[in-house]
Amino acid sequence: MTAVDQLHPELDHPTSAPNGTGQSYRGLAGVPLSLEPLNRKDFTSDQEVRWCPGCGDYAVLAAFQGFMPELGIKRENTVIVSGIGCSSRFPYYVDTYGLHSIHGRATAIATGVATAREDVAVFVITGDGDALSIGGNHLIHVLRRNVNVTILLFNNRIYGLTKGQYSPTSEIGKITKSTPMGSLDNPFNPISLALGAEATFVARTIDSDRKHLTSVLKAAVAHRGSSLVEIYQNCPIFNDGAFDAIKDPATSADAIIPLTHGEPIRFGVDGHLGVVRDQQTGAFSVVEVGEVGEDALAVHDAHLADPSFAFALSRLTDAGVLHRAPIGIFRDVEASTYDDLARDQVALAASLGNDEDALQTMINGGDTWTVH
């Protein structure tokens, strides 16, 4: 028994979180449950929150602190790892274990935490610069490995903490301090990127829609494996209004393409718009339902093994100034996780015997000689 095990005898009792909604939290299997009910205050640290007034990060923090108690797990068995950027201050404000790390590396560090400890729920807080620029390599690898972590990617399409340079999700032609004549490079679509890495859970939500944000984050936690949640998050200082089209009640109906598993993809005022799939190319396009008929609409399936369907949906996102984007869970499929498999290998190997004699035998090796 290791020192770590001794601290966690409850690991002997497999757990799965009760949640009152009937939802099964496979992603939390192995994480011990709190013996007493927790509330929002239990997930609030003593640190003063220091984001700019009006920052979308406040809403995400509030939603997070709101649903964490519902998961039923012990807060001391929660670890939040972040990188660098405005949103990466997040861990300081939540009374769990937290590691505010270095730029781009949160996913790599979280991989170590998650692989080391089955009894810990691991969250990664990152931004568009942190995850997609300096940390792009680690992001695609954590996704392909399917490490059991929940990644909250705050996408404000700008560098905030360094005071307003364009980011890898900024639209082409973005005028910023570092691009006075306009940015030149194509932006990443984080959903497409994650699906390209065959991420097993990929979703998009909006900072200002507390209900949707909460439901998507809970689904992400429930998923066992890497969950990537892109959160459209407004930066009121350096990129204000980037998501106005989908946040403004006057335009949002036509701007948000809602993804609900098993439902035809239909939206717009009075549901006049819908999404159809080209049988030849596999690409989706937005059409007037009146022109094609309701039966022609694509029905969303988040559980397809092949990520192509979800990828094609992700392409409906505007790459330039945002007027329209699919919102919801693009993909949610079950697959083995790296950390579970790694622990299984260690356990299998240990079953061959690992006492002190075995260790001494290993060190002795095969060819020994004795000097008398």
Site residues (vs other proteins, CB under 8 A): 2-4, 6-8, 32, 45, 47, 74-79, 81-82, 84, 91-92, 95-102, 105, 108-117, 119-120, 137-138, 141, 342-343, 345-346, 348-354, 356, 358-360, 362-365, 367-372
Total Cβ atoms within 10 A of residue 42 = 16
Q: Could you tell me if 76 and 224 are in contact, meaning their C-beta atoms sit under 8 angstroms apart?
A: no
Indicate if the alpha-carbon torsion angle 109, 112, 113, 118 is positive or negative.
positive
Task: Return the HEC string of 166-183.
Answer: CCCCCCCCCCECCECCCC
Output the smallest distance, CB 136 to other proteins, in A: 11
Contacts of 82 (CB under 8 A, 6+ apart): 88, 89, 90, 91, 98, 99, 100, 101, 106, 124, 125, 126
Q: Minimal CA–CA distance to 190: which of 204, 206, 179? A: 204
Output the smallest distance, CB 147 to other proteins, in A: 10
Q: Which residue type sits at 236?
A: P
Angstrom distances, CA of residue 341 to CA of 138, 196, 205, 218, 291: 19, 22, 30, 24, 50
Q: Could you tell me if 296 and 276 are in contact, meaning their C-beta atoms sit under 8 angstroms apart?
A: yes
Output the smallest distance, CB 310 to other proteins, in A: 23
Output the smallest distance, CB 339 to other proteins, in A: 9
Judged by beta carbon, residue 59 or residue 147, the one nearer other proteins is 147
Judged by beta carbon, residue 184 or residue 341, the one nearer other proteins is 341
The first and second tokens of residue 310, run together, are: 């979800």
User: For 264, which DSSP code?
Assistant: B
Output the smallest distance, CB 367 to other proteins, in A: 5
Q: Minimal CA–CA distance to 90: which of 113, 123, 139, 134? A: 123
Q: Which residue type sits at 45?
A: S
Judged by beta carbon, residue 27 or residue 187, the one nearer other proteins is 27
Output the smallest distance, CB 108 to other proteins, in A: 3
Judged by beta carbon, residue 295 or residue 356, the one nearer other proteins is 356
Judged by beta carbon, residue 26 or residue 141, the one nearer other proteins is 141
Judged by beta carbon, residue 281 or residue 370, the one nearer other proteins is 370
- CA 6, CA 58: separation in Å to the nearest integer? 38
Output the smallest distance, CB 143 to other proteins, in A: 11
Judged by beta carbon, residue 116 or residue 298, the one nearer other proteins is 116
Output the smallest distance, CB 118 to other proteins, in A: 10
Q: Could you tell me if 233 and 207 are in contact, meaning their C-beta atoms sit under 8 angstroms apart?
A: yes
Judged by beta carbon, residue 161 or residue 253, the one nearer other proteins is 161
